[in-house]
Structures are given as structure tokens and as C-alpha cells.
Amino acid sequence: MKRYIPVLMVVLFMPLCIQSDLKEEKLNYSVEGCGATRTAYGEEGYELADGVLTVHVMRNCCSDEILVEKSGSEYRIIEKENNGEICKCNCMSTVRIKDADEKFRVTFTDYSGQVREIKEIKWEGEFCGWSTYAECSSDTDCKVTGCSGQVCAGIKEEIITTCEWRECFDAGRYSMFCGCVNNKCQWTQS
């Protein structure tokens, strides 16, 4: 009887060990919808900074949700369409995954099940937004405007721009802030 006790213990505790290995890793992520931080078109890609993996993916405007799963070192971004309503338009969404691994691969699975790899964004050049230099007395007198958020203008100015996205318009990437500097609305280092 004594020799069966170790076997019995293994049989009883084995399911607990197996079950703990099967638990999915809970990911801390957020999804910003179509055009939340970019225009309808832009460059797909990812960047990793301070443990946050930021991924820009082109998706269908009418898809129901974007999910993120992790398998090994691969982050899978999955577009879900539950009610069958697909639009004839695409838009850019931004997915932010906190506490991301240093070495990884990113894929995007669209609503039809097609998988594509998302590549790292290679940043080049300098910030290329522009300022109107409107008169101001405080930062609240200034605003970010333009279709791509590339213009720093006075709060009362109406600015119309073309709608295209260039990586150099990304003020956050270049640590730029639209504010009142020397009584003029202009971009400045934040």
C-alpha cells in the first residue's frame, strides 16, 4: 500500500500542473479605433518604447472588434467581424500592448482570416509639422489642427489641409508640443 501512495499523489496533482500550464497569458492592451490618432491611411508597422508595443494596423472600417493574443513570442492582432457587415473602406487603428517582451513577432489576421506580418517602423528625418504663429498669451490659446494633426494654430483660426499622413507629422514621436512660445502659437519640444 505504501508504494502506491506516491503514484496516487502524482495522479491527483498532475491535472493541476497541466491546467496551470494551459492558462492563457492575460495581456494588458488597448485599441484606438479608426482614425483615433492617425488619418484613414498611413503606414502599418510597430514600435517598442519603454515596454509598450505600439502597433498601427490597417483594418476594415466596419469590423466589430480587435483582439490581441500571445503565442510564444508572437503577438497576434485579430480583426473580428461577427455580424457579416463589411464596408468598402479601410482605416488605421492603433493597438498598444503594455509590458511587451523585448523579442517578438507581430501578425495581423483580418476578418477573412488572412494573416500578414507587421514590420517595425523605421523612423527617419525630423518633425515636419508647421505653425501659424498666431498671437497668444497662454497654451490654451493654441490648438493642434489639420487633417493629420500637423498644424499648431491659434484657437480661433480655421485651417484646411490636405488629408495625407506622413510619419514626420507625429508630434508625439518627436516630443513636440503645440503651445504659446514668446506670444506665438508654435510647435516646441515638450
Q: Does residue 41 have a pLDDT over 70?
A: no
CA distance 13 to 127: 59
Q: To the nearest whole number, what is the mean pLDDT of the chain? A: 81
CA distance 142 to 144: 7
Segments making up each domain of the chain, as ranges = 29-118, 130-189
Q: What is the pLDDT of residue 131?
A: 92
Distances (CA, A) of 10 to 4, 7, 43: 10, 5, 53
CA distance 67 to 24: 14
Q: Does residue 33 have a pLDDT over 80?
A: no
More confident residue, 98 or 166: 98
Instruction: Tell me the pLDDT tens digit for each residue of 97-129.
Output: 999 998 999 999 988 899 999 998 776 678 889
Q: What is the pLDDT of residue 42?
A: 56
SS3 187: strand
Q: Does residue 53 have a pLDDT over 90?
A: yes
The letter for the amino acid at 119 is: K
Q: Could you list the beta-strand ranges (E) of the chain.
A: 29-32, 45-49, 52-60, 65-71, 74-80, 90-97, 105-109, 115-118, 130-131, 142-145, 151-154, 176-181, 184-189
CA distance 110 to 67: 11
- The model's pTM is 0.54
DSSP-derived letter for residue 137 is S
CA distance 134 to 183: 8
Confidence of residue 37 (pLDDT cuts 50, 70, 90): very low
Q: Does residue 20 have a pLDDT over 50?
A: no
Half-sphere exposure of 6 (CA within 13 A, CB side): 1
